[in-house]
Amino acid sequence: MKRRFTMKFQPESTKKPLTYHLIKDYNLKVNILRADITEGQEGRLLMEVEASKADLDKGLKFLESEGVTIIPLDQHLKWDKDNCIHCGACTAVCFSGALQMDRNTWEVNKDSEKCIVCGLCVSACPLKIITVEFR
């Protein structure tokens, strides 16, 4: 199974090789999509992880025991679909294909699994109805 998470690290954890342990000790395939880490300060990683459910559960438990806060990715992109005028501006900048125009209904659809939380759609939307929280 593949899952995307934001990992929020406490300052003391930014010095530890946690991703190394995830790969070596918990057999996780880790793909870091975005990183905001400065040693000695709170850090954040946007990460895609591939593993069996059992290994993933163990790896996430290990991170939590190290004081890492894990936030599933789908909590981060907020789209006020009810107020959307389906102009398509957001789909033009969404390279991952998470926001796409349905050519039959001419309505925009969102596939949260594909979103890499790049934030480009936020500034592209003229109505400012998309927000991304990178906590």
Which residues are near ligand SF4 by CB under 6 A? 77, 84-90, 93-94, 96, 98-99, 108, 115-121, 124-125, 127, 129-130, 132
Identity of the residue, 44 or 86, whose beta carbon is nearer to ligand SF4 in the bound complex: 86
Nearest approach in angstroms of CB 19 to ligand SF4 is 22
Compute the least distance from the CB of residue 78 to ligand SF4, in Å. 10
Give the nearest distance from C-beta 52 to ligand SF4 in angstroms: 27
36 token code pair: 């905001």
C-alpha 45/C-alpha 37 separation (Å) is 8
**Residue found under tokens 């996430």:** 60
For residue 125, give the amino acid letter. C
64 contacts 84 by C-beta, under 8 angstroms: no
